[in-house]
Structure 1
Amino acid sequence: MGSFEFSFIFAKIGFFTTLFTNLFLIYATVCHMRRLDFTYRTMISFFGLTGLIFSGWELISKPLRTTVSQKFFQFSIAFHAAICEAMIAMISIQFVYRYFSLLRPEYRKDDGKGTVFWLLYPVVPGVMYFCSFYIYCMPDQFTDAYLRTEMLSSYGLQIIDIPRFIIVSYNTDDTIRWKNMVFLIQGSVILGFHYLLILFYGIKMHFHLKKKLNEFSVTTTRLHKQVFRALVVQILIPTVIFILPCVSIFFGPFKIGWNVRTDCHILRAKFYSGSEGSSCLKNVC
């Protein structure tokens, strides 16, 4: 059994695990977590649904490989990355919302006002990241020549037969390939902005909770601590699984060989979605 077939089996296991945990998370959030306000319950449910899409996209696209053009699979690559970016933005906006709901009690009213904004905001960085693949990372003769030998030796495939986006930062004369470099800069700015939001509002929320402990009941205090702990775990998981490996590859010292097979990414992706739902269930429910 080839490594891709082996990874696809794990993709199935990961998807059905995610399907169970995230559907149960959505059910528990909507039907039983009445102590949380309407907007935050909706945000958790939307996050669980997005995790299902992220986990199931590989299973959806694989059966279409013989019937759909390469452009669909190129779209799938960008879409998968955009969903990951949107989920990071979704976590960051939860930090912002939880801080303001602590600071201003009117945010906790179950009237649903502003819910649409909190749900639609993550779409913006996701769409920006998706579009940047088509603007900055389309293959050309230089990038195909750069990776042709590696693709043939590692996968036994001709690079022109593969749906692809390619990032090569330098030309052969060591001049910067600005289109690819702008992609890295834009991605870093978007990601860095959301991590700054998480860090800033996470720290403020931590100290605000300490000040407000005497004003809350024991039940309310425990709830806020559980939600805060869930948010911290939610951002730690994708940071360890996706962000840190990508940072080391994209921004590590030059002239160091990296060869990470796609099936390794698939395994990480399937582990990620299920673990996010499980962490929410464990820390909040």
Structure 2
Amino acid sequence: MKKSLLFIIVLLIAQNIFSQTGGRRFFNKSFYVNNVTLLELTDDLGQSLNTNNIYKVQLVVTGTGTKTGAEYLVWNDVTTASWQIRAVTLSGNSSNHPLLIVENNIVKVYTKHTSKYTVLAFVEEIISNEDDVEPSIFGSSFQWQRDGLFLSYEGNVGIGTTAPTTNKLDVKGTIHSQEVKVDMLGWSDFVFKKEYNLPTLEQVEKHIVEKGHLENIPSEEEVLKNGINLGEMNSKLLQKIEELTLYAIEQQKNTEKLMKIIEEQNKRLEVLEKGK
């Protein structure tokens, strides 16, 4: 009975040791740094970080009176043999906020403040014993990064769809917004330039009869198949509005000319009537 109990205790101890050395381990360090004093992030024994492992590093600055804090993923890229860092969460990236940087292929701790502050580093080390493991083993924290009030993501995002393969954001459903702003590379005011060749109304009519839609405007078939680009479509619609404006101005000028002709003819008729 005693031997069995002793065996169980030894087994539990062995399992506990394995969980600490064969999977994850934790350590913390202290750094006294500023914008010119950058110190290497080493392990608990003062050795350089292990290129076979991945590190989750949480930083905080003491004695600042402001909110500080940061979380990074640190790993070595076997392809380039260089250390990589990814900021998962930053309370800020200026003044006395704690930061990591890779300098001369060394991961260093620092702040952007001229005064030195104590930065505490709480490190979780994933002991993968494999030099080409991607840090995605941490899940979504590998992808989403928060910098103060800003949240960013390097991949494609799908809402209502699991396959956003083409666009940075794919939404299957309705988007409700107070305002949508689209950056443009050009606009349609070229219609008002002297060198613009305004189609005649006869040419417009011919295109409609032959194609069934306005020139440079996608057909119903194209829209139903491919959708529309809001910025591009607004520019094309504005082009047609500006062309219509030019047609209207020209029609107005012609109308005024006709009115003058009619007015002159009426005056002549009045003279002729009085001479009878």
Give the TM-score band, short-chain normalised: under 0.3
The structure in which a higher percent of residues are helix is: 1
Larger radius of gyration: 2
Could you tell me the TM-score, scaled by structure 1's length?
Answer: 0.18
Could you tell me the TM-score, scaled by structure 2's length?
Answer: 0.19
The structure in which a higher percent of residues are strand is: 2
Q: Which has the higher contact order (CA 8 A, sep 6+)?
A: 1
